[in-house]
Chain A
Amino acid sequence: MATLRDIKRKIGSINSTQTITRTMKMVSASKLRRAQEDLEKVRDYALKIEELTGRVIQNMPDDAHPLLTAREDVKKVLVFAIASDRGLCGAFNLNIGLQAEDFVRENGHLYERTGIYAFGRKVNDYLQRRKYDIVKSFVDVKKIDRGVVDVIAGHLIEFYTSGEFDKIYLTYTCFRSPVKQEIVFEEFIPISRADSGEEPIDYICEPERPKIAASLIPKYVSTKIYYALVESQTCEQAARMSAMENATNNCGEMVRYLTLVYNKRRQEGITNEMMDIVGGAEALRGT
């Protein structure tokens, strides 16, 4: 049975845990704000680039650019999974891991090879432990910038054009609001030309359309990656903030409960002692 001192020690340790989680919550709240600003900044640009690329490639032939050419025989597919390096953010990393895992488990038998490109230490470790085919991983990201994006875009384009993979999927967490994040799983390369139903636009192009497409498509790929990374980063902070908030609340609850137990136990001790004294006094009076 826990003694009074044990309970007191436990309360103390929970209190200090609570201090830590509360601080972490505040830190991630301010990081979330900054990440959200970054996201706002790039959102318009990313959406416009996507729209523009869609319009430019809409009625282009399949062989106009290597990244547009869909292969008939899809044997090897790659999943580019974006999560984070750090934990303590609830199920954020796990969800992406599970998403990739589910995909491989359900569709693995259809393909010769299903590789994973992991972004973030946590998701990399998770999938590696479960012996999935990690083709490449990107960990220890200090800051998401153009350099990082260019490296990743280079890898992905190389994987596709060299024929190492025939299709590349992208999965990341998409930020809707600080309390709502959604996992996105989509086909990335080859770039699909969804028929939007709009009349293709007959531009006057300077230089010719294929030349514009040749420079626009890589830009689209890196913008998309950058956008996904920023989204994911924002979600990470939001997830961490709510995880830490929950932890702080749970600590509070636990401290309340333990304080109750502590007081009860103390009272019990006092009552017992009193009874001993009274009993002893009664016994003495009898003699």
Chain B
Amino acid sequence: MLDLEIITPEKVLVKEQVDMVEAKGAYGEFGILPGHTQFLTAIEVGEIRYMKGGTTNYLATSGGYAEVIDDRVTILLDDAELAEEIDVEKAKREMEEAEKALKALAFDENQYKLMEMALFKAILKIEVASKRHL
């Protein structure tokens, strides 16, 4: 079993024993099973999954760090939401706003990258939310 802790500045999102953790690191997706070597990575914008007794839970995050030492997995995130807690309506609104802003902006503006990121995050949230347990 792995001791998983997922912490954001807002609150401790997850603190439990799980079977497996998967996330998107700097060099692509990785999975952690018990017995993993000591590992440190930057987490990219994306989905984090953890499996426990046959069920999979999903989170959407905008990035952070993950550390594995002796079957303790500590994930520190700037911002993250559990699939069950995502406000889909809000995410859709954010997506529309970002799309609208992107159409109005020229490609080379600084804002463009920011809005692109915002759009990406909004889409990610909607995607993750669709995987929630009903």
Q: Convert A199-218 into 0s and 1s, putting 1 for each residue whose CB lies closer than 8 angstroms to a CB of B.
A: 00111111101011001100
Given A207-B26, A212-B65, does the pair A41, B42 have CB atoms closer than 8 Å? no
Chain B residues in 8 Å Cβ range of A44: 7, 12
* Contact (Cβ within 8 A) A41 B65: no
Chain A residues in 8 Å Cβ range of B37: 204
From B30, B40, B42, B76, give the contact of A45 (CB < 8 A). B76
**Is B109 an interface residue, CB under 8 A from the partner?**
no
In whole angstroms, how far apart are the Cα atoms of A201 and B74 in the complex? 15
From B10, B11, B42, give the contact of A207 (CB < 8 A). B42
**Is A183 an interface residue, CB under 8 A from the partner?**
no
**Is A151 an interface residue, CB under 8 A from the partner?**
no
CB distance from B82 to the nearest CB of A (A): 16
In whole angstroms, how far apart are the Cα atoms of A48 and B64 in the complex? 12
CB distance from A251 to the nearest CB of B (A): 40
Chain B residue nearest to A203 in the complex (CB)? B40
* Contact (Cβ within 8 A) A41 B27: no
CB distance from B35 to the nearest CB of A (A): 14
Q: Convert B57-85 into 0s and 1s, putting 1 for each residue whose CB lies closer than 8 angstroms to a CB of A.
A: 00000000101010000101000000000
CB distance from A229 to the nearest CB of B (A): 13
Chain B residues in 8 Å Cβ range of A226: 9
Size class of the A contact interface (CB-based, 8 Å): 20 to 34
Chain A residues in 8 Å Cβ range of B27: 206-207
From B9, B26, B38, give the contact of A203 (CB < 8 A). B38
CB distance from A263 to the nearest CB of B (A): 57
CB distance from A155 to the nearest CB of B (A): 21
In whole angstroms, how far apart are the Cα atoms of A41 and B7 in the complex? 10
**Is B46 an interface residue, CB under 8 A from the partner?**
no
In whole angstroms, how far apart are the Cα atoms of A46 and B74 in the complex? 13
Chain A residues in 8 Å Cβ range of B38: 201-204
Given A48-B76, A52-B74, does the pair A201, B9 have CB atoms closer than 8 Å? no
Chain A residues in 8 Å Cβ range of B56: none
In whole angstroms, how far apart are the Cα atoms of A202 and B5 in the complex? 21
Q: Convert A206-244 into 0s and 1s, putting 1 for each residue whose CB lies closer than 8 angstroms to a CB of B.
A: 110101100110000001001000000000000000000
Chain B residue nearest to A226 in the complex (CB)? B9
Chain B residues in 8 Å Cβ range of A204: 37-40
From A49, A56, A223, give the contact of B40 (CB < 8 A). A56
Chain A residues in 8 Å Cβ range of B17: none
Chain A residues in 8 Å Cβ range of B5: 48
CB distance from A217 to the nearest CB of B (A): 12
CB distance from A234 to the nearest CB of B (A): 16
In whole angstroms, how far apart are the Cα atoms of A44 and B10 in the complex? 10
* Contact (Cβ within 8 A) A45 B9: yes
**Is A60 an interface residue, CB under 8 A from the partner?**
no
Chain B residues in 8 Å Cβ range of A203: 38-40, 67
* Contact (Cβ within 8 A) A212 B40: yes
**Is A184 an interface residue, CB under 8 A from the partner?**
no
Given A48-B76, A201-B69, does the pair A206, B12 have CB atoms closer than 8 Å? no
Q: Convert A45-63 into 0s and 1s, putting 1 for each residue whose CB lies closer than 8 angstroms to a CB of B.
A: 1101100100110000000
Chain A residue nearest to B69 in the complex (CB)? A201
In whole angstroms, how far apart are the Cα atoms of A52 and B66 in the complex? 10
Chain B residues in 8 Å Cβ range of A212: 40-42, 65
Beyond the given A52-B65, A209-B40, please list 17 additional residue pairs across the A-B interface where CB-CB is below 8 A.
A41-B9, A45-B76, A48-B5, A48-B7, A49-B76, A52-B67, A203-B39, A204-B37, A204-B38, A205-B39, A206-B26, A206-B41, A206-B42, A207-B27, A207-B42, A211-B42, A212-B40
Which B residues form the contact surface with A (CB < 8 A)? 5, 7-12, 25-27, 30, 37-42, 65, 67, 69, 74, 76
Which A residues form the contact surface with B (CB < 8 A)? 41-42, 44-46, 48-49, 52, 55-56, 201-207, 209, 211-212, 215-216, 223, 226
